[in-house]
């Protein structure tokens, strides 16, 4: 998430009421998660296990719960609860905006686009030309949709990320201030759910086609001309490169990469990153030819046992 202007370190510290280490005029231009941070961004860390990763990331402002040595060229925001204060910043820069109309007045809808009845289009949504949005679709604030996109009934774009911190009193949600971005010529089936990024974008690449009842988690990036069949669940922060085919009832873990032109066969559990240009099957995932050989050999076990008797 990039801010609309450059803030100083002192200004950010005053918003969340914390101390800071560094020049009070140190520039702050945005906030983001660790995997997508850039210079000028704030990143938060609240566990010693991840201190080094955060301090050595591209982020130049680290929101942290311990006063540690500050790397050269960076600044620290010292907080007793970085998770809580990251939420404060999200709520400050991207607060929830109430809407009482089906199509927000701040939404932009391109020429030739058809919106079927009972669809909700939130604040600051941008929809391109010649799209077809079927009935009962919900498009949350700040979603961006390109040209020639088809979205079938009941699909939801922009729900919150499934991201929680366990506390003694229950689970505390990390607020989502990101977006969903749908590129040109994408097709999305009925009853799909695509969550917005925590601070960045969940992106569906140009020409990708998604079947019914598919879930895409927060901050996932899907490339161009992918095919994703029904009942697939893609976790957060996944990268799916161009021209990947994913068949039905596939599930993935978070933070992995599926290489270009890979084929993931039905009911596979993608438990790790996989190279492109190959076919995969099974849980844990393996190349499909090897997995199918293993299954064929398993069928021979009763015959082998009978021979040993």
Q: Which helix (H) or strand (E) holds 146?
A: none
Q: Of 134, 152, 215, 218, which one is the catalytic site residue?
A: 218
Q: Which distant-in-sequence residues (6+ apart) come within 8 Å of 96 by Cβ? A: none
Q: Tokens 């820069």: give the residue.
A: 93
Put the strands of the sheet holding 239-240 in their side by side order.
108-109, 126-127, 144-145, 179-182, 201-204, 221-222, 239-240, 257-258
Tell the burial category of 124 from Cβ atoms under 10 Å away from its Cβ (0-12, 13-18, 19+). middle
3-state SS class at 229 = coil
Q: Would you say the C-alpha torsion 20, 93, 137, 183 has a positive or negative sign?
A: negative
**If you write DSSP's letter for every residue of 58-91 in order, what string do you get?**
S-SEEEESS--PPPTT-EEEE-S-HHHHHHHHHH
Task: Please say if 218 is a catalytic residue.
Answer: yes
Task: Return the active site residues.
Answer: 218
């Amino acid at each position: 998430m990039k801010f609309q202007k450059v803030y100083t370190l002192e200004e950010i510290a005053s918003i969340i009421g914390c101390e800071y280490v560094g020049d009070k005029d140190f520039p702050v231009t945005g906030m983001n998660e660790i995997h997508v941070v850039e210079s000028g961004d704030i990143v938060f860390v609240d566990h010693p296990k991840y201190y080094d990763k955060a301090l050595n990331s591209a982020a130049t402002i680290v929101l942290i719960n311990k006063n540690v040595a500050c790397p050269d060229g960076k600044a620290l925001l010292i907080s007793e609860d970085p998770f809580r204060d990251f939420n404060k910043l999200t709520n400050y820069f991207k607060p929830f905006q109430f809407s009482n109309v089906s199509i927000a007045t701040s939404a932009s809808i391109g020429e030739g686009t058809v919106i079927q009845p009972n669809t909700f289009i939130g604040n600051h949504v941008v929809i391109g030309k010649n799209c077809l949005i079927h009935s009962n679709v919900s498009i949350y604030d700040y979603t961006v949709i390109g040209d020639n996109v088809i979205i079938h009934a009941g699909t939801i774009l922009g729900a919150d990320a499934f991201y929680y911190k366990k506390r003694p009193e229950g689970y505390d949600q990390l607020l989502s201030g990101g977006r969903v971005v749908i590129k040109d010529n994408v097709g999305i089936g009925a009853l799909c759910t695509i969550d917005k990024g925590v601070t960045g974008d969940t992106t569906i690449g140009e020409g990708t086609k998604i079947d019914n009842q598919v879930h895409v988690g927060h901050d996932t990036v899907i490339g161009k001309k992918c095919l994703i069949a029904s009942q697939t669940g893609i976790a957060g922060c996944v990268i799916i490169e161009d021209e990947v085919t994913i068949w039905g009832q596939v599930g993935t873990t978070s933070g992995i990469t599926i290489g270009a032109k890979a084929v993931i066969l039905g009911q596979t559990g993608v438990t790790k990153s996989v190279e492109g240009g190959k076919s995969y099957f099974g849980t844990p995932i393996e190349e499909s030819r090897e997995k199918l050989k293993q299954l064929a050999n398993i069928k021979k076990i009763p015959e082998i046992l009978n021979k040993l008797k």
